[in-house]
Amino acid sequence: MRDQISRVFDLAVFLLAFALVASVSLARAETADEAALAEFYGNAEMVSIATGTAQPLRESPAIATVITAADIAAIGATELNEVLETVPGLHVGVSGVGYKPIFSIRGIHTQSNPQVLVLVNGIPVKNVFDGSLGTSWGRMPVTGIARIEVIRGPGSALYGADAFSGVINIITKSATDVHGLEVGARGGSYDRNDQYLQWGGELGKFDAYFFLERSRSDGPRERIDADAQTTLDGLFAPFPPVSLAPGPTELNRDNTEARADVSLGYWRLRGGFQELNDIGVGAGVAQALDPVGRGDGRRLSADLSYDNPRFADNLGLTGTLSYYNVENLARLQLSPPGAFGPLFPGGFPNGVLGNPDVYERHYRGEMSGLYTGISGHRLRLGGGYRKEDMYKVEESRNYMLVPSPLGPVPFPLGGLVDVTDVEAFVREEARTVAYAFAQDEWNFLPDWTLTTGVRVDDYSDFGTAVNPRLALVWQTSYSLTTKMLYGRAFRAPSFGELYNVNNPANLGNSSLDPETIDTWELGLDWNAGRGLRAAVNLFYYKMDDIIRFATDPAPSTSVTAQNTGRQTGYGLEAELAWQASRRLRLAGNYAYQKSTDESADADVGFAPSHLAYVRADWMFDPQWSVSSQATGVFDRKRPPGDDRSKIDDYVAVDLTLRGQKLFGDNWGMRLSARNLFNADVREPSASGLIPNDLPMAGRNLFLELSKAFR
């Protein structure tokens, strides 16, 4: 407790000193270049994710957050995870496998994170195999992002499956955001080495934008003190231990991302390619350190859209066709050399090896119309069709699982064997989904708007899901907006949960129903004037038919996906932003949540009960600015059955110095320190097999230089 108080005190002193220095500067000069101010602070007032059309953020029928490119640059973020940590009530954790991100919203936290729908330009990018973003996601660079819109709460009435606890829509840049050529490079801690270029302009009659970034790093090699093999070594004593712990996590990365955006009139064509090579597997897929395992991935996407707001009198028409191909490949050492030696002497001289590969294709088509011919109403009707095809599964391994008193253990096969056609871990499957939706925004009184909506999704593998929404927005006064919201959402079973086979650890169940959630929210948004804005919202939710892998009734010992258990949660999220002067802006948010596993009558664990975030942006010169932010994560409990003590709290502080339009308006510079005070940041491991949790990066720095050619 004393250490925690000391960290909070250090943080308070740091931020107070920051504000005092800024105030002294403001007394010296209060005038700044208007263009520089606009570029520094950006404009987050409009949001489209809540209804499908742009509207003022405070009037939108959802609890939403908008983050602009200016925000992203100011806080020194270079990847998506760093940006999302600024959203109230959203905590970015990691899984032990490759440190893949877990976007925990309002206490809903699972290892593959299928309950949050991630979109890129409105197109889902999640894997159907396990509902996660997959190995090929990596850590999305943010240089090519124009804005990010986030809904906290259900979104299935508009977006369908997996818009469960929240929706994240990443909107990439276009020719309207970039004019001419810009190149940049950054380097820093962990042998970081990044380069990027982007260009926006006219190509004949077309508006065009192109982006390319290459990112490489050895990653933070933080120490794991004990792992799953440490526990096995204890069981097999006095045989010599073979665990590689204590040892470092493997988080090296080599990412390439390319995007293109070409438009003409009402038509727009986008394409994207992402490739990851030799990606480290974090703390190990089987929670045993794996210094040789690597993941590779590729994603290819394309979408063609038509958006004509004046297609006919009082009618706007939009349509999208999209294609998404994803490959997730892995070369894994599940256990170290010599593992299970007491059972099979000399059986695994190179360790227990497994190479699972999954290939997916997604096809989508959607069309909707917005009709405004009825006074006071904005009626949107639409529908679509998609196919999710896990068209190829390949697997080779040097073991087969056999029963034992310890549970299933690997039996050596003498070398790698291709088991694709005989014992692959999951079946190749495909599903189709047809859906239709309707939404009406009814302004029935000058200060009242009622938004109602419903969406029906018909799945080929488990049937139909119906999800309504209801939102009443009241302009209570000129400065105060009140929102009363209800929504229902669902999460579709993943193919792993439905079709896992030849895997005694996790067997699929083709009879699963989708998870469901009902959420009620009350939000207040207050524009107090003089640059001060405050917002607070309360929420309550109820989850049913939760999908978990659970042990079958005796005498079976198989672990099978089942609809089991309920979860309820409630809490609040508060935000405050103050434009203290033309050059100084202060902002912060706080979130509290309490989530209960109703079966165990206990906290569900993993997610923080308290989240706090503060930020100060100070433009001390038209060309120079400094931003500081701090994130506090508190009171993370263990899930039922895990007797370890609570996960340690932490406060992490970042500081970024930014120069714009330097040396004849062509150069830019960013110097950023992440985790400035070297806090011991840890994310919870899934079980006690890594008893001291997953260590995150300590203090690290980077320097970025960019040049524009206009």
Q: By the 8 A CB rule, do 566 and 598 touch?
A: yes
Q: By the 8 A CB rule, do 600 and 551 touch?
A: no
Candidates 107, 73, 76; CA nearest to 90 is 107
**Mean pLDDT estimate for the chain:** 90
Q: By the 8 A CB rule, do 337 and 347 touch?
A: no
DSSP 3-state assignment of 25? helix
Candidates 201, 203, 204, 210; CA nearest to 261 is 210
pLDDT per residue over 116-150, tens digit each? 999 999 999 999 998 888 776 767 899 999 999 99
C-alpha distances out from residue 370 to 313, 434, 449, Å: 11, 20, 17
Q: From the centroid of its chain, how far is CA 228?
A: 27
Placement of tokens 């919870």 in the chain: 684
- For residue 16, is pLDDT > 90? no
CATH number of the domain bearing residue 417: 2.40.170.20
- For residue 28, is pLDDT > 90? no
Task: Supply the pLDDT for residue 315.
Answer: 97
- For residue 413, is pLDDT > 90? yes
- For residue 665, is pLDDT > 60? yes
Helices (H) and strands (E) in the chain, counts: 9, 39
pLDDT per residue over 82-125, tens digit each? 999 999 999 999 988 888 899 999 999 988 889 999 999 999 99
Segment (H or E) for 328: strand 315-335
Candidates 180, 212, 182, 206; CA nearest to 194 is 212
- For residue 552, is pLDDT > 80? no
Task: Supply the pLDDT for residue 639.
Answer: 92
- For residue 621, is pLDDT > 80? yes
Instruction: Find the length of the chain.
Output: 710
- For residue 36, is pLDDT > 60? no
Dist CA 169 CA 86 (whole Å): 15
Which residue range forms the structural domain that includes residue 427?
A: 2-709
User: What HEC string does 416-447 produce?
Assistant: EEECHHHHCCECCEEEEEEEEEEEEEEEEECC
Segment (H or E) for 26: helix 2-28
Dist CA 264 CA 628 (whole Å): 41
Candidates 25, 65, 35, 8; CA nearest to 587 is 65
pLDDT per residue over 516-535, tens digit each? 999 999 999 999 888 999 99
Dist CA 48 CA 198 (whole Å): 25
Q: By the 8 A CB rule, do 535 and 574 touch?
A: yes
Mean pLDDT is lowest, of 47-51, 255-259, 602-606, for 47-51
pLDDT band at 29 (very low <50, low <70, confident <90, very high): very low
Over range 230-238, report the average pLDDT: 91
Q: By the 8 A CB rule, do 436 and 382 touch?
A: yes
Report the range out of 94-98, 640-644, 702-706 with the highest average pLDDT: 702-706
Helix, strand, coil proportions of the chain in percent (round to 5)?
10, 55, 35
pLDDT band at 574 (very low <50, low <70, confident <90, very high): very high
User: What HEC string does 518-551 produce?
Assistant: EEEEEEEEEEEECCEEEEEEEEEEEEECCEEEEE
Task: Supply the pLDDT for residue 85.
Answer: 94
Phi-psi region of 340 (alpha: psi -120 to 50; beta: other; left: phi over 0): left
DSSP line for 63-78: -EEEEEHHHHHHTT--
- For residue 354, is pLDDT > 70? yes
Radius of gyration of the chain (CA): 26
Phi-psi region of 281 (alpha: psi -120 to 50; beta: other; left: phi over 0): alpha
pTM assigned to the model: 0.92
Task: Supply the pLDDT for residue 137.
Answer: 76
Task: Supply the pLDDT for residue 98.
Answer: 84
Mean pLDDT is lowest, of 6-15, 169-178, 596-605, for 6-15
pLDDT per residue over 186-226, tens digit each? 999 999 999 999 999 999 999 999 999 999 999 999 999 99
Q: Which residues have C-beta within 8 Å of that of residue 455, sequence separation ≥ 6?
A: 156, 157, 158, 160, 435, 436, 437, 438, 466, 467
- For residue 25, is pLDDT > 50? no
Task: Supply the pLDDT for residue 30.
Answer: 44
pLDDT band at 9 (very low <50, low <70, confident <90, very high): very low
pLDDT band at 33 (very low <50, low <70, confident <90, very high): low
Q: By the 8 A CB rule, do 607 and 103 touch?
A: no
- Domains identified in the chain, total number: 1
In degrees, to the nearest 5, what angle opens at C-alpha 294 toward C-alphas 293 and 297?
A: 155
